[in-house]
Amino acid sequence: MTITLAFDVYGTLLNTHGVVSTLERHIGDKAVDFSRTWRDKQLEYSFRRGLMQNYENFAVCTRDALDFANAFFKVSLSAGVKQELLEAYRKLPAFDDVAIGLDQANKAGFRMFAFSNGSAEAVEALLDNAGIRNYFQGVVSVDDVKSFKPNPGVYSHFLRKTESVGSDTWLISSNSFDVIGAISFGMRSIWVKRSQDAIFDPWGIEPSLTVINLLNLAEQIDQI
C-alpha cells in the first residue's frame, strides 16, 4: 500500500514566529518572548477546549491567546495592532527547507495531505500564500470533528477522510504532543526537531523517526 504522509502545518511547515518582525515594530525587544507566550497559550487553549468539549475553532484560540499575551506583557496593544497581528498570523512563512522536502516526497510517490488544528479555509490560504499548496492532495482539518489534536478522534478522522491505514500513515510534526498522539492512536510519526534545544516529552513513547528538517525526508522514510 502507498504510504500516506500527514503534515502538521503550524510550527512544522510554517514558522509560527513569523510574526516577530511585526511585533518588533510595536513592542521592540519583547517581541520574541511575546511570540513564544502567544504560541504556548494558543496550544493550551486548544487543549483545554478539547477536554471541556467546548469547541471554538483555532482562530478563536489564537485571538484569545493574543489577548492573554497582551495582558501578560502589559503592552496595551490597540485593537488595530491586534488585528494587524492576526492578519500576519494568516500569512505565516514556510521554513526554508519545506518546499524542497515536499517536492522530494511528492516525487517519491507518497500520498501527501496537510493535517491541521486550523480550519480548512485558513490552512488553504496559508499554504497558498506560502507557495506550497500544490504538493498536497488535500487539507484535513480538526474543525470537521470539533476537537483538537491529540484527541484520538482527530487522527481517526484523518484516516477516514483520506482512506488510509494507520500502519501505513506517517504524521510529520514538530510538536511532540502531536507525535505522541498519533503513535498512541496507531499511526507512525516523525518528529521534526527544528530547534537544538527542543525536548521530546518523556512519556515512554518515542517517535518512529527524528529529523532536523524536511530535507531528504522521503529517503529516510524509505530506509525504515
pLDDT tens-digit profile, the chain (224 residues): 689 999 999 999 999 999 999 999 999 999 999 999 999 999 999 999 999 999 999 999 999 999 999 999 999 999 999 999 999 999 999 999 999 999 999 999 999 999 999 999 999 999 999 999 999 999 999 999 999 999 999 999 999 999 999 999 999 999 999 999 999 999 999 999 999 999 999 999 999 999 999 999 999 998 88
Which residue, of 35, 63, 89, is where some domain finishes?
Answer: 89
Contact assessment for residue 73 and residue 30, using Cβ atoms and an 8 Å cutoff:
yes
- CATH code of the domain in which 59 resides: 1.10.150.240
Whole-number Å distance between alpha carbons of 113 and 137: 6
* Enclosing domain of residue 66: 16-89
Q: Rounded to two decimals, what is the model's pTM? A: 0.96
CB atoms within 10 A of CB 15: 18
- Whether residues 172 and 201 fall in one domain: yes
Which residue, of 89, 105, 125, is where some domain finishes?
Answer: 89
Which residue, of 89, 117, 141, is where some domain finishes?
Answer: 89
Whole-number Å distance between alpha carbons of 98 and 77: 33
- Whether residues 101 and 187 fall in one domain: yes
- Whether residues 34 and 129 fall in one domain: no
Give the count of domains, the chain.
2
Segments of 13-165 assigned E as strands: 111-116, 138-141
Which neighbouring-strand residues pair with 10?
14
Active site residue 8: yes
- Whether residues 52 and 108 fall in one domain: no
Question: Residue 61 to residues 117, 122, 154, 185: CA-CA distances in angstroms?
Answer: 10, 13, 17, 25
Of 8, 97, 143, 178, the catalytic one is 8
> Could you give phi then psi for residue 191, rounded to 5 degrees?
-95, 125
Q: Which residue is associated with the grid cell 522536502?
A: 101
- Whether residues 102 and 160 fall in one domain: yes
